[in-house]
Amino acid sequence: MRVVISIDPQLPMPLGRQVYEAWRQGILDKRFAGGERVPSSRELAADLGISRSTVTLAYEQLMAEGYLTSRKGAGTFVSAALPDMPLQSRRASKRAAMQPLPISLSSYGASLQNDVPLLPNARGWIDFSQWNPDIRHFPFALWKQLLMKQLRGIEATANAAIFDYTAHAAGYWPLRCEIARYLARCRAVVCQPEQVIITNGSQQGLDLTARIVLNKGDKVVIENPCYIGARHVFESVGAHLLPGSIDQAGMQCPTFQQNLRLVYVTPSHQYPLGVSMSLARRLELLAWAREHRVLILEDDYDSEFRYHGPPLPSLQGLGNAEPVLYCGTFSKIMFPGLRLGYLVVPAKLAPVLTRAKWLTDRHTPVLEQAALAEFIASGQLEKHVRRMRKLYGARRDALVSALHQHFPGEVEISGIDAGMHALIRLDDPALPMRAQQARVHLRNAASSYIVNAPSNEYLFGFSSLSERVIREGIKRIARP
């Protein structure tokens, strides 16, 4: 172990004293934590280029004063209890009195100061505010086998490349091929593997897209209400957001086009209202985008979980040569910690997006990409999605029946033909307070609106809660 201890032979203070002071100060400043092992006197002396006896003397002094302790056969450690706490607190208050230096932010940094939402800590609560997959049902044993298979490969050196930088910033080629085939089968996306760019979740797909197509002041139409993650990304590059109205057929075609660069839509399952864009509206939007040379960014984040009717084809697939960028994720159908998603882009945009990806973070970790390629190729991904669709469908039904039971005749439920959450309209001003008192976390939909936010809409995630917990949660928020 090598630690950074600064000594200076030019100083008048003896070297042993400098070593003593450096450790003492580091311990008081909590640079070295209680219980942490310190290097042996031999190691430190060699690192500092001084005699071992100088270090030994400094260590003995620190031990005598209680800063260090030694355990026979185990080594020397920083003491768990510090000897002069009053001195330490005097120093801390002196430091607190110092004014922090002002740090000026870029306009990107400044835009992030405005409430980018972080995940709530709802431990012990019933949490309807998330719509994540139920990872207790993910086949982790199989996933481990797939990872291990890749790791075993390196022993034969055949697979060592997965641990080096890859030349393929756009992603691991077999995975790009599998995703292209999967999307053709399940989402009617029309693409070649060269058009698939692997990203760290769909959030990175949105971010890369924004940065390669938008300039400050460019206009972007975004659904109102919308996915906050997308809104913040567009705002962070200085785009001017224009709210797109939504009706039962999905987002209406924009009526303006001046300086419009991009339209962001969630046509399969509008986030958060849950409506699906009708075929007529899709065709209208595509024709409009072509006529006005506007790019469409289609976010298809959870459409695999469709409970009624046949799966809807993607806008991208209907577009043929239209300028659609299609963004997807494995966060919902596998698990969000995987951080794997993809963009499917017009062929001529693939090189610039690949460079943007390389510049941002080089590439996505290859080990997981390789395991995922096999997970898809073996049919296991689609098998898992089928199982989860059944499970989530039952949970969705439990939510609907519990809401009708406890709020008869007053609750309006929408957006539940697909996805992992429902949109609930309920005129009950006391609901948030009752939920708070009953330790139930609810999410009001108002923050998803750019304009005209109603106060009576709530988002209820059902996918990660068991039917029993869902029933219990709705019972808890019912009027007494």
The footprint of ligand PLP (CB under 6 A) covers 201-203, 227, 266, 271, 299, 301, 329, 331, 336, 341
Cβ closest to ligand PLP, residue 150 vs residue 203: 203
CB of 203 to ligand PLP, least distance (A): 3
Place of tokens 């439920």: 413
DSSP classification of residue 162: G
Q: Which two tokens stand for residue 432?
A: 């948030």
CB of 343 to ligand PLP, least distance (A): 11
Cβ closest to ligand PLP, residue 226 vs residue 402: 226
Task: Give strand ranges (E) for 252-330.
Answer: 260-265, 295-299, 324-329
CB of 169 to ligand PLP, least distance (A): 19
Cβ closest to ligand PLP, residue 40 vs residue 414: 414
Cβ closest to ligand PLP, residue 299 vs residue 457: 299
Adjacent-strand bridge partners of 329: 341
CB of 331 to ligand PLP, least distance (A): 3
Q: Are 60 and 23 in contact (CB under 8 A)?
A: no
C-alpha distances (whole Å) from 320 to each of 15, 31, 252, 325, 346 are 75, 59, 21, 12, 10
Cβ closest to ligand PLP, residue 68 vs residue 206: 206
Q: What are phi and psi of 155, to 5 degrees?
A: -65, -30
Q: Which two tokens stand for residue 403?
A: 């809401």
Measured from each CB, the residue nearest to ligand PLP is 201
| Helices assigned H by DSSP within 12-103 | 15-28, 41-48, 52-64, 85-97
Cβ closest to ligand PLP, residue 201 vs residue 244: 201
Q: What are phi and psi of 53, to 5 degrees?
A: -65, -30
Cβ closest to ligand PLP, residue 38 vs residue 338: 338
Cβ closest to ligand PLP, residue 55 vs residue 325: 325
Q: Which residues contact 102 (CB under 8 A, 6 or more apart)?
A: none
Q: Is 76 helix (H, G, I), strand (E, B) or coil?
A: strand
CB of 389 to ligand PLP, least distance (A): 17
Q: Which two tokens stand for residue 311?
A: 């799966």
Q: For residues 317 and 17, what is the distance between their CA atoms, to the nearest angstrom?
A: 73
3-state SS of the chain: helix, strand, coil percent to 5?
Answer: 45, 15, 40
Q: Angle at CA 351, nearest 5°, toward 346 and 357?
A: 105
Cβ closest to ligand PLP, residue 128 vs residue 301: 301
CB of 303 to ligand PLP, least distance (A): 11
CB of 18 to ligand PLP, least distance (A): 50
Cβ closest to ligand PLP, residue 271 vs residue 375: 271
Q: Which residues contact 211 (CB under 8 A, 6 or more apart)?
A: 237, 356
Q: Angle at CA 349, nearest 5°, toward 344 and 354?
A: 80
Q: Is 197 helix (H, G, I), strand (E, B) or coil?
A: strand
Q: Which two tokens stand for residue 348?
A: 């001529």
CB of 7 to ligand PLP, least distance (A): 48
Q: Which residues contact 9 (CB under 8 A, 6 or more apart)?
A: 15
CB of 419 to ligand PLP, least distance (A): 9
Chain CA centroid to CA 102, Å: 30
CB of 268 to ligand PLP, least distance (A): 10
CB of 327 to ligand PLP, least distance (A): 7
Cβ closest to ligand PLP, residue 19 vs residue 399: 399
